[in-house]
């Protein structure tokens, strides 16, 4: 099996969130999606509706510890109904929440 070449470990999560478009094209509709994993750099989610690559969305994610992370995401890839996004402007405090969870829950696994 080929080793994953990512900067951040993906951690499974199952939570539904709302994506609020912040593009200047006048779109005012929110999208409800199901997050499947989160890392320090971004998240993957499933959406029944088609979203545009490179669009930005404001969102809040309730993580494993029941804490709330507020961030902007940019859609970077799509594979069927699964999307990959990167965090844009994630606060250092929110990034630390993800780091701490990773340290305590994945420290025994091989990199």
pLDDT at residue 1 greater than cutoff 60: no
pLDDT at residue 104 greater than cutoff 60: yes
Give the residue extent of every domain in the chain: 11-106
E-strand spans in the chain?
Answer: 11-21, 31-38, 42-46, 56-62, 68-79, 82-88
Say if residues 98 and 61 touch (Cβ distance below 8 Å).
no
> What pLDDT, in 10s, does the model give residues 65-99?
888 999 999 999 999 999 999 999 899 999 999 88
Question: What is the pTM (predicted TM-score) of this model?
Answer: 0.83
Residue 15's pLDDT band (cuts 50, 70, 90): very high
Say if residues 53 and 78 touch (Cβ distance below 8 Å).
yes
> What pLDDT, in 10s, does the model give residues 16-55?
999 999 866 666 789 999 999 999 899 999 999 999 999 9
Task: Give the pLDDT of residue 101.
Answer: 82
Q: Which two tokens stand for residue 66?
A: 């029941």
Task: Give the pLDDT of residue 18.
Answer: 97
d(CA 97, CA 2): 29
CATH topology of domain 11-106: Thrombin, subunit H (2.40.10)
Average pLDDT over residues 2-26: 77
């Amino acid at each position: 099996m080929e080793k994953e070449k990512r900067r951040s470990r993906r951690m499974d999560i199952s939570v539904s969130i709302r994506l609020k478009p912040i593009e200047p094209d006048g779109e005012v509709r929110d999208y409800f999606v199901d997050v499947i994993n989160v890392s320090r750099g971004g998240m993957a989610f499933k959406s029944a509706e088609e979203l545009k690559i490179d669009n930005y969305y404001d969102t809040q994610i309730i993580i494993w510890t029941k804490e709330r992370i507020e961030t902007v995401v940019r859609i970077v890839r799509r594979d069927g109904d699964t999307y990959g996004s990167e965090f844009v402007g994630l606060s250092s405090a929110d990034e630390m929440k993800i780091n701490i969870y990773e340290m305590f829950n994945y420290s025994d696994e091989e990199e």
